[in-house]
Each structure stands twice: as structure tokens, then as C-alpha cells.
Amino acid sequence: MISEFIFAIATTLPMFNLSRIIGGLSAAMVIPTSMALGSDLTTLKERAKVIGWLSAAFSGGLILGPGLGGILAGFSYKTPFWVAGVLAITSCIFTQIFLKESKETIELEQKEEAKLHKNKSSIMSILTVPMVVLFGMILVSSFGLQGFESIYSIYVNQVFNFGLGTIALVLTLNGIISLILQVAAFNWLINKIGEVGLISYCFLLSAICVFWITQAHSHVSVIVATLIIFSSFDLLRPAITTLLTKSSKANQGLINGMNMSLTSIGNVIGPLMSGALMDWNTHYPYMVVAVILAASYLLTFIVKRFPLAAVED
């Protein structure tokens, strides 16, 4: 709320920068905390459904937000920020009133944390082999998605002569498919093949389709491959998050904080790598992304090798 209101009244660059700093810090804290709270308020059986809905909520906001902002900007260019601030304070009030952890959950977390502190530090307690591999997958998935997405418009325009209308159509279709998959299909897929199985298939499909795009010759094949890639990533991230939330009864904040931190690192490195490689050759970024995703698919066998109980504590 504070960030949006400052942005609405700002008239100097330092004020704008202050607004974005506050907004960035807030966003960085809200998302992992939401995932941690969601895991605390649900049972293991409901976990996948809740993470899927949370992911769908974030995706839906990213889809609807720009359109709503554009409509509101028709009244005044400051209106979107005032409205965003009001929505933020409304969310804050609802959070304080309705989102309360049970006393039993809090006591259990305190006991678990006290037990962990007697043996080893919180960070060291989560750095088991399967967890390290999962954290690596988080980094790779965000790295791969941003490496793919950041140059997508330029790539398909230069190689396949896609216009703005076609690109917008693909991204809109992806948003719709993403919401359907995360709301309606994610929990069903988790129940059928499990988190590790879904992660494995998503890495494999995305690697194949990224390579497919570099060899494609028609618009239809590129669009189909693109939708499969985006859909795979839209399922991959909540699947990894769900598995992480089942990894320990305590340290949910730390685990989800690591999740977001590694995602942010991948979001920074991915576009830098793709942009640099594209200056050498148009196809190089996607060839590298395909190799990295294929290697990540092989990493899933390390997680499969360990009993799930070792991951779920």
C-alpha cells in the first residue's frame, strides 16, 4: 500500500525509486510467506491443491493486472496506483482477520525448531542431498524459463516473422491454459504421478520442445511447442514448491525464502545469458536452454533414488 501510494504522489526520481524498493521488498516477502502459510494451514493431502491455487492466483494476477491497469489509466495515469494501494490495504486487513495459524501448529513449529537448534543450524538442517537437488531445480527452472521467455518475442520475430498480434495471441493462450492447468489439473496430476514424476516429465517435455523450436519450419509447430513449454514451467514450479513444503514440518519460511531467492537469481541470469548468446547466433540461447533442461531431467533421478520419506522428513 505504502509503495503504491508513494508512486501515485511521487514527482521526483528518488521518490519513484523509494516506491519500487519498498514494493520489491514487500513482493519478495509476501510470496514465500504465502506459500509457507498455505502449507501450515493445510494437510499433506490438500497441499498440492492449495499450492496449485496459489500459483494460479499469482498467474491470474499477472494476466489481469496489466489489462486492469490499462483500463484504469484511461481515467487518470495515477488511478491504477491508488486502486492498487486500496487493494493492498484491503488484503492486509483480511490477512490480519482471517489468516491465523492454529495454536497447535505454532506449538509444533516451536518444538521442531527447538529440536533442530539443538542439533544443527536451520540452514544446515535442510541441506540434505534431495533438498540441494530440489533447490538446484528451482534455480534451473527459473533460469530456463527466463532464458526462454526473455528473448521469445525477438526470436520468433526474427526467425519466423511473427507479428505482434501472433505473439500476443500465444501469450494470452498461455495465460488461459496456465490457469486451467494449475486450478483444475495440477492436483489430479500430483495424485496420479506424484511431485517428482511431474517434475521429471515437465523438464523432459520442455527440453524436447525448446529444441523442437530451433528445428521448426511452420508457425503452427512453433506455437504448439511454445504452449507446451510454458505449460510445463507453469506446472513445474508449483510441483517443486509442493515437494519443498512437504520436506519439513518446521523451517517453512526458510525453505520458501530459499525458493524465492533462487528463483530471483535465475530470473536475473537467464535473460543475461540469452541476450549475450543471441548476439553470437540466434539459435544458441535455446540450444543451451535445451541442454540445461535435459540435464535437469537427469537430476530428477537423483531425487527418485532417495526414499520420499527422506525428503518429507
User: Could you read off the pLDDT of 53-92 as tens digits, one per residue?
Assistant: 777 777 667 666 766 777 787 788 888 899 999 999 998 8
Residue 170 belongs to domain spanning = 2-312
Task: Write down the pLDDT at residue 293.
Answer: 87
Here the CATH number for the domain that contains residue 12 is 1.20.1250.20
pLDDT at residue 90, as a whole number: 92
Provide the pLDDT for residue 310.
Answer: 42
Q: How sure is the predictor about 18, in pLDDT bands with cuts at 50, 70 and 90?
A: very high
CB neighbours of 78 closer than 8 A, spacing ≥ 6? 8
> What integer pLDDT is reported at residue 62 of this predicted model?
67
pLDDT of residue 126: 57
Distance CA(7)–CA(169), nearest Å, equals 31
pLDDT value at 257 more than 80: no
* Per-residue model confidence (pLDDT) at position 238: 80
Question: The dihedral of CA 75, 78, 81, 85: what is its sign?
Answer: negative
**201-246: per-residue pLDDT in tens?**
988 999 999 999 888 888 888 889 988 988 888 888 788 777 777 6
Q: Which of 299, 303, 296 is nearest to 144 (CA)?
A: 296
How many Cβ atoms from other residues are within 10 Å of residue 66's Cβ?
11
Confidence (pLDDT) at 124: 57
In the chain, how many domains are there? 1
